[in-house]
Structure 1
Amino acid sequence: MDTPEMQNLLHEPHVAVLAIERATKPPLMVPMWYGVEQSGNIFFCTEEETLKTRLIRRTGRVSFLVQRTTMPYSYVGIEGAVTERPASADDVRSVSARYLDPATLDAYVSTVNIGRTIRFDLTPTKVRAVDLSS
């Protein structure tokens, strides 16, 4: 899969699978909404007081999988380091708008405690992009 095809897949509103290593257990794997900036930067937002946030802070890295489950089947797997900063309302809105219809977006965003929400930016160290239909 070439870079434009990979970027197209990442820009589609798929729910990613986020995996974070744990010391004595298998990796934690959770579904994750995410955003893609025009630069191609991938980011996601989550509440500060969660297991995934604690694990990310401990390891500083994640694995991230986005897949298309309809033809043409394809996926992008990304391993990388993450950096964090407080999430803004615009961060939460831009991610949520990929997955929610406009009629429910405002109501959803109003339920998010922005002051307790973290934005993680993913810096890829390894990328696997595969088109399974060819």
Structure 2
Amino acid sequence: MSLAMTPAEREAFLAEVHVAVVSVADDDGRGPLAVPLWYDYQPGGDIVLVTDRNSRKVELVRKAGRVTVCVQEQEMPYRYASVEGAVITIEGTVTVERRWELARRYLGREGADGYVEATRDATARMCAIRIRPEHWLTRDYTKAA
């Protein structure tokens, strides 16, 4: 029996709320950069990251043109999905409304209101990175039970 998720299972899992660890190659002789980020994903679509456009990670993403996004469920039985893909676009601006929608995904409506208000000045520095999933590596240990 395979512990790999089916395409429908992996897309549904990635669409759940997880913090992603995003990895991107570094060309300065250092190891790949790996950072935790909130993300948005709808089954069959692209992965969207919202982050500071002046950050080291965005500079590396621009150079590499590819990233790996890994999400996991920490409770047993363990499940994870690691997705590699091409960067389709880096949108140079992000609206407050877009940031609020992402924050709502993670914090709920009330938490999103507080988070966006407390970080309102950050909106002008944000960009949205769109990644097209191409290669998946998944495990679902609930299938072993």
Q: Same fold (TM over 0.5)?
A: yes
Which segments of 5 or more consecutive residues in structure 1 lack a partner in the other structure?
none
Amino acid at match of 1:78: V
- Number of equivalent positions: 134
Distance 1:71 1:8, change over 3 A: farther
What's the counterpart of residue 14 of structure 1? 18
| TM-score of the pair, normalised by structure 1 | 0.89
CA contact (8 A) 1:48 1:116 kept: yes
CA contact (8 A) 1:74 1:129 kept: yes
- 2:47 pairs, out of 38, 42, 50, with 42
* Shift, 1:125, TM fit: 2.2
Distance 1:41 1:90 in 2: 19
Distance 1:2 1:97 in 2: 28
| TM-score of the pair, normalised by structure 2 | 0.83
CA contact (8 A) 2:94 2:128 kept: yes
CA contact (8 A) 1:44 1:95 kept: no
Which segments of 5 or more consecutive residues in structure 2 lack a partner in the other structure?
none
Which protein is richer in helix relative to its size? 2
Identity of aligned residues (%): 33
* Shift, 1:39, TM fit: 4.5
What's the counterpart of residue 31 of structure 2? 26
Q: Mapping of 1:52-71 within 5 angstroms?
A: 52-71=57-76
- 1:99 pairs, out of 95, 106, 113, with 106
* Shift, 1:37, TM fit: 3.3
Larger radius of gyration: 2
